[in-house]
Amino acid sequence: MIYKVLAVGTGGFVGAVLRYGLSKWIPAVDGFPWGILIINWSGCLFLGWLLTAAGKSLKISPTWTLALGTGFTGAFTTFSTFAVETFRLMDQGHWLTAMLYILSSVIGGLLLAYIGVRLAAVQGAKCE
């Protein structure tokens, strides 16, 4: 049990530090939070791929799946920052930008998660 907690904590530490660095490196443009959007999109793609590939073509152990999925991706992506950024845009009267951010986050995230699942499925078919 303790090794699972350590795996999630270690993955979470790495994911949080990476998110912080990328959010500073990719600035907002005209108030649009590109950094958080790109972080969340890449997390959707990665998690869709990881959770599909983990037990199939890659044979990743449950502990590594916890570290990479729950720990790393959970800390790397951020729904709370998405919500606060959206509220900030609305509070400043940037309703159109806020709606574009919501739509691009939700639709883009779902599409990228789907692409991640499909990529893993294709890779699994090639590996077997």
Pick from 33-37, 56-60, 72-76, 91-95: least confident: 56-60
Contacts of 63 (CB under 8 A, 6+ apart): 3, 4, 7
Average pLDDT (79-89) is 96
CA atoms within 13 A on the CB side of 15: 25
Q: How far is CA 24 from the centre of its chain?
A: 16
Average pLDDT (50-56) is 85
Evaluate if residue 127 carries a pLDDT over 60: no
